[in-house]
Structure 1
């Protein structure tokens, strides 16, 4: 049951993201740049504590 719920959440979030991208097509380059920056920030903050543990 948990896997089915997770698949529905994934499906609807993907659909919402696609609709959002189509609706704001003229500002898509800014949205993609912001998303890339957030992703790089999350990865760096996830790896930062592991760097100082050794």
Structure 2
């Protein structure tokens, strides 16, 4: 019994830390993708939307 406990405990700790690392990496990737998407949308809006707003003279 004691040998099983000593061999299984480190495995649990390692797998738990791996889960935490994977979760942190996933959150970072999602945040990066969302940031890139917002920057792209914002850039397109600034390029196309704002000139129309400022130079939209009624014809």
* TM-score category of the 2 structures, normalised to the smaller one: 0.3 to 0.5
Which structure has greater helix proportion?
1
Q: With structure 1 as the length reference, what TM-score do the two structures score?
A: 0.47
Q: With structure 2 as the length reference, what TM-score do the two structures score?
A: 0.43
Asked which structure has the greater CA Rg, the reply is 2
Give the number of the structure with larger relative contact order, counting CA–CA contacts within 8 Å between residues 6 or more apart. Answer: 1
